[in-house]
Structure 1
Amino acid sequence: MMRITFKTDGGVAYFPGLAKPFVFESDQLGKKDAKSLQSLIENANFFALPTTIGKAAAQSADMQHYTLTIEDGKKANTVKLVNNASPEVQALFDQVRSLVTKLRTS
């Protein structure tokens, strides 16, 4: 079982109350979603990623950035995505963001 924490910061319509980290466990997901998430984590080599990906441009105050923490047994990593992610990393962040939306509304 993995614990996933996802946080969104910044953006034009940034509301601190809505930006609280969302935490869920992989066993809250259906089998298909859990398997897809596991595959994306492996494809992105998440546990070997640096703590920050990309740099904020001088005029990027309105850009959203995301922080993802995944804990899996003794392995854990936290990655802040600002911009310029590889397709594999972007796919992982997109999937987690989609899962968070799905779990918040269920």
Structure 2
Amino acid sequence: MQAELFIDGGVGFFPGLARPVVLDGNDLSAEERDELSRLVSAARAEPAAARGAASKPVPDGRTYRIRITSPDGTNELKSADPSIPPAFSALMAFIKQRGHR
């Protein structure tokens, strides 16, 4: 499984310099791979309304996309400031902590 975190927007955002944070499951220990799978399942299970963009745009707000590639295929989860659901936030933190640009 591979996860890519894309962050768009915010103060000082330069699209040409924005690169995703990439996390390759092959670089993780067995326990970390299990945790990644659990976090992905939890984020996928959150209601679609909770993952969608904010109803009102936030000045200098950020949007977040997590692209998950696994043997089952590729799908993308999305969220935006100011309300990021807890499971999405936990997955995003895991990717930031263990991934690389």
**TM-score, reference length from structure 1:** 0.71
Give 1:11's aligned amino acid: G
Alpha-carbon distance, 1:96 to partner: 1.6
Unaligned runs of 5+ in 2: none
User: Greater CA deviation, 74-83 or 48-57?
Assistant: 48-57
Equivalences, count: 99
Instruction: Give the aligned residue type for 2:79.
Output: L
| Aligned counterparts of 2:17 and 2:98: Cα–Cα separation in 1 | 16
Give the residue type in structure 1 aligned to 2:9.
Answer: G
- Match of 2:8, SS state, is strand
Bigger relative CO (Cα 8 Å, ≥ 6 apart): 2
Q: Does structure 2 conserve the Cα–Cα contact (< 8 Å) formed by 1:10 and 1:61?
A: no
1:97 Cα deviation (Å)? 2.4
Unaligned runs of 5+ in 1: none
Task: Give aligned-pair identity as a percent.
Answer: 25
Q: Do the aligned partners of residues 16 and 36 (structure 1) sit closer, same or farther apart at CA in structure 2, a change above 3 Å counting?
A: same
Report the AA paired with residue 92 of structure 1.
L
